[in-house]
Structure 1
């Protein structure tokens, strides 16, 4: 059976270089999403989980180093390799990024073969580790997820469906548990019922967007998949203690 294409997120503000890398990766049988700066990438990554991220270091709006630190705050990106591509860089900066957890560097100008081989080698290693640690899908033994893994799985599904209303039936189906089991697990780990957890997950995303500078309340409603502005505003005030408008004003002081 043919292997599925790997999904690569490319972040590069230089249009000529970005186009060249995009074409190179596409021709090498990768699915590529090309974004022009770290902020665009952060918005995309909030709802998508690629197999690998390749980012320029210095870019307007948000650089690769800042983007890396932001996404690493989320557990879902722990296993997503991150490669920095950059021009002249001093050892201190390079060591700092490596200490932060960046997986590798590609120095400009680079040979195309070097980039492709590094990507393939990292992804192959990731696949080998994943296969080694994954349970046999045909085993009759039920492997219970740890508390951390269970919540990560839920958050991953919610992130992918952030712009729409995913119901409890669909969520429990994707997690291979009953609705009652799902609700019990959520209550045990968070002291919230599943509806509250899903709603507050969306509100947390809205708060992140506000933190990043978003001021349009209707945009927040659309991006978080609430059915109406009034429901979003009521839920937001109950969760935060302020209306969306008042909260946004408070962040500008």
Structure 2
């Protein structure tokens, strides 16, 4: 039995590019709905649910960024991967989209193979998560959803205060739980204490900045809330088994 084709919502206002990408994705066995602006896509999403959204950033009527914020307010779209296409190569634009919460971006001009591999990887990851959930459709699903919501809120608090020396007391206060309850939940679900969870979150954020093009180690430390460059370097190496400079160098070589 032939596997059902994954549904892609492509949003691109450039007629030539949109038609070309749409046709090439269909050749690769994807079912594609092509919209030419964010508003058209939003109306489509009111009745349809694609497996993944590939969206241009700068468009008339409604931009990709506006569409992203609009649909992310609705929980039913939370699990749809959202890829931004952009001709703006500036670090600030990349960083802003990552901070917004988009899953990935691809720079124009791009090779269709790159887009296809990114789509494939996201869909495979999504399918794996769905299979794990289906294996236990009752008690564990409820627990997983509760944990997801809690850690989503926790991460939002940390990212909001990423550049500051945020205290555990402040995090607990913003989540409306006690400090001990916060630590207990993180230890139980992540097997680390609160301090280590926050530190590793900051390192993961630094890695995202590097992937977005940041190469200044001091800027990375400052952007991630480390008061000491040496402590940032030690923490980064402990987490990744390599120094920030080596990580950046390796990333640039790739």
How high is the TM-score relative to the length of structure 2?
0.54
The answer to which of 90-99 and 57-66 deviates more is 90-99
Partners of 1:84 and 1:102 in 2: CA distance = 7
Q: CA deviation at 1:125?
A: 0.7
Q: Which runs of 5+ in 1 are unaligned?
A: 150-253
Q: Which residue of 1 aligns with 2:109?
A: 109
Q: Which residue of 1 aligns with 2:58?
A: 58
Distance in structure 2 (CA, Å) of the matches to 1:95 and 1:144: 35
Equivalent residue, structure 2, for 1:97? 97
Give me the whole-angstrom Cα distance separating, in 2, the residues matched to 1:145 and 1:57: 35
Query: Residue 238 of structure 1 corresponds to which residue in structure 2?
Result: none
Measure, in 2, the Cα distance between the counterparts of 1:145 and 1:48: 25
Taking only aligned residues, the RMSD between alpha carbons, in angstroms, comes to 2.1
Aligned to 1:47: 47
Q: Which residue of 2 aligns with 1:80?
A: 80
Whole-Å separation in 1 of the counterparts to 2:115 and 2:142: 36
> Residue by residue, what CA displacement relative to the aligned partner does 1:25-80 show, whole Å, maximum 9, x if unpaired?
10010010000000000111111111000000000000101100000000011110
Structure-2 residue corresponding to 1:16: 16
C-alpha distance after superposition, 1:142-199 (max 9, x if no partner): 559759x8xxxxxxxxxxxxxxxxxxxxxxxxxxxxxxxxxxxxxxxxxxxxxxxxxx
Q: Which residue of 1 aligns with 2:124?
A: 124
Counterparts of 2:136 and 2:74, CA distance in 1: 27
What SS does structure 2 have at the residue aligned with 1:22?
helix
Q: Structure 2 CA distance, aligned partners of 1:48 and 1:70?
A: 16
Q: Structure 1 segments of 4 or more deviating over 3 A?
A: 142-147
SS at match of 1:32: strand
- 2:118, 2:6 → 1: CA distance? 14
* 1:145–1:104 Cα change, 3 Å: closer
Matches within 5 A, 1:1-253: 1-135=1-135, 146=142
Contact residue 22 and residue 34 of structure 1 kept, 8 A: yes
1:135–1:143 contact (8 Å) kept in structure 2:
no
**Which ranges of structure 2 fall in alignment gaps of 5 or more residues?**
146-254
- Take 1:123 and 1:98, find their aligned partners in 2: how far apart are those partners? 19
Q: C-alpha displacement at 1:130, in angstroms?
A: 1.1
1:2 aligns to what SS in structure 2? Answer: coil
Deviation at 1:119, TM superposition (A): 0.4
Contact kept in structure 1, 2:133 and 2:141, CA below 8 Å: no
Q: Secondary structure at the match of 2:60?
A: coil
| Number of matched pairs | 145
TM-score with structure 1 setting the length: 0.54
